[in-house]
Amino acid sequence: MAKVRKYLSKDGTIRISTVISTDLANDAFRYLEASPLAKVITSRAMTAAVLMASQLKEGLSLSLNFQGNGPLKTIFASASYDGSTRAYCENRGAELPPGVRNVGAGLGNGALEVALQQPHDRQPQTGAVELLSGEIGDDVAYYLGQSQQIPSIVALAALPLDEGIEVAGGYIIELMPGYTDATVQKLENLSQMTGGLTDRIQQGATAEELIDTYLMNFEFEEIEHPYEIQYRCGCNIERVERSLLLLGPTTLDDMIASSEDSEVRCEFCGKLYTLATDELISLRQTLPTTPLN
Ligand SMILES: [Zn+2]
């Protein structure tokens, strides 16, 4: 499996994380069917999450929750420092409205909430911004600028196939305290010189080659990051039961009334859980009774 490569400029004012996430994106959609639009936006979100998480500390994880009024509704991606990640798209079958070409319309207007989870905190630290374009890269850059006061370049690519993803990957370049206007100017000029990201990954570029223009024009050293990125869900029957309880008494009553075993599919990894009617009944008993209406 691929690894995130990380670089820090010798003067400490620029840091970069870069990754080829094609295999990761394919793992995400191995057991869950999704439209090309859902695959592109979810893959970009997952790539952004692994890149951002690689800059955290050991034991920490973060999640990106994009909620919009477009057909995709919600895209969620979480990743930990050690490279484990999972993602979810609320409406995996979503397509763009006829005549609309820009994939950002899939999410539309809404918000990005970023949650940082420390190992021993019950509640994560959260920050939120409005969605700038719904294309993920712009939205993450806007979040970094607004919430963290970090100017950044966020480049994300994902190209869908009928089955799975052809290529996915990207990089995030962040400016750290002490940067100069000259550095900003030079980075902006370089970013205009770099070719199309999707094309470069299709042509077989490695994670390091994606950012070679920057590596050649500044002095960087690589920061060791030994973790492989991998799609890992971590679902189990207890989590499935908790999510069923969230659906409320009426839904559970309907499932019980069907008097057959109920199958519940994990929305992150596609794993199928079967619950017998008596298990549903004992779950239902933990909820208050509500009048049928
Ligand atoms: Zn799962």
Say if CB 10 and CB 220 are below 8 A apart. yes
Contact of 52 with 30, CB cutoff 8 Å: no
Question: What rounded mean pLDDT belongs to the chain?
Answer: 94
Cα of 248 from ligand 1 centre, angstroms: 21
Task: Give the pLDDT band of residue 290 (cuts 50, 70, 90).
Answer: low
CB-based contact 126:112 (threshold 8 Å): no
Q: Is residue 291 part of a domain?
A: no
220 & 245 share domain: no
Q: Is residue 45 assigned to a domain? A: yes
Q: Measured on CA atoms in the order 189, 173, 165, 111, is the torsion positive or negative?
A: negative
* Ligand 1 geometric centre to CA of 270 (Å): 6
Pair 217, 190: CB distance under 8 Å: yes
Q: Are residues 113 and 31 in the same domain?
A: yes
Domain count, the chain: 2
CA 121 to chain centre: 22
The alpha carbons of the chain give a radius of gyration, in whole angstroms, of 21
Dump pLDDT digits (tens) for 232-243.
999 999 988 988
> Looking at the structure, do residues 227 and 256 belong to the same domain, yes or no?
no
Average pLDDT in the 182-210 region?
Answer: 95
Same-domain status, 18 and 147: yes
Residues 151 and 248 in one domain: no
**Interval between CA 267 and ligand 1 midpoint (Å):** 6
* Structural domain harbouring 159: 5-231
Is the pLDDT score of 194 beyond 90? no
- The answer as to whether 73 is a domain residue is yes
Task: Quickly count: other Cβ atoms within 10 Å of residue 225's Cβ.
Answer: 17
**Average pLDDT, stretch 133-152?**
95
For residue 236, the CA-to-ligand 1 centroid distance in Å is 7
CA pair distance 49, 180, nearest whole angstrom: 27
Tokens read off for 93: 């079958």
Q: Residue 275: which CATH number?
A: 3.90.1280.10
**256 and 208 inside one domain:** no
The pairing of beta strand 272-275 with beta strand 262-265:
antiparallel
Q: Using the mean position of ligand 1's atoms as its centre, give its distance from the Cα of residue 234 in Å.
A: 6
What band does 12 get if pLDDT is binned at 50, 70 and 90? very high
Q: Is residue 139 part of a domain?
A: yes
Which residues lie closer than 8 Å to 164 by C-beta, 6 or more apart? 25, 26, 29, 30, 39
User: Given this model, what pLDDT does residue 293 score?
Assistant: 46
The pLDDT tens digits of the residues spanning 211-225 come to 999 999 999 999 999
Q: Where does the pLDDT of residue 262 fall: very low under 50, low under 70, confident under 90, or very high at 90 and above?
A: confident
40 and 159 part of one domain: yes
Beta-carbon neighbour count of residue 251 at 10 Å?
13
Residues 202 and 71 in one domain: yes
pLDDT mean over 166-178: 97
* 131 pLDDT above the threshold of 80: yes
Residues 96 and 178 in one domain: yes
| Judgement on whether residues 149 and 45 belong to the same structural domain of the protein | yes
pLDDT digits (tens, 9 = 90+) for 31-64: 889 999 999 999 999 999 999 999 999 999 999 9
Query: Cβ–Cβ contacts within 10 Å for residue 285, how many?
Result: 9
- Asked if residues 157 and 201 have their Cβ atoms less than 8 Å apart, the reply is yes
Say if residue 141 is in the same domain as residue 266: no
Query: Does the residue 289 lie in any domain?
Result: no
| CA 216 to ligand 1 center in whole angstroms | 42
162, part of any domain: yes
| Percentage of the chain exceeding pLDDT 70 | 99
Residues 27 and 172 occupy one common structural domain: yes
In this prediction, residue 184 carries a pLDDT of 95
The domain spanning residue 225 has which CATH number? 3.55.30.10
Measured from the Cβ of residue 14, the count of other Cβ atoms closer than 10 Å reads 23
Residue 268 lies in a domain: yes
Answer yes or no: is 292 within a domain. no
Flag whether the pTM goes above 0.85: yes
How confident is the model over 106-123, as a mean pLDDT? Answer: 93
Instruction: Give the end of a domain, one of 186, 213, 231.
Output: 231
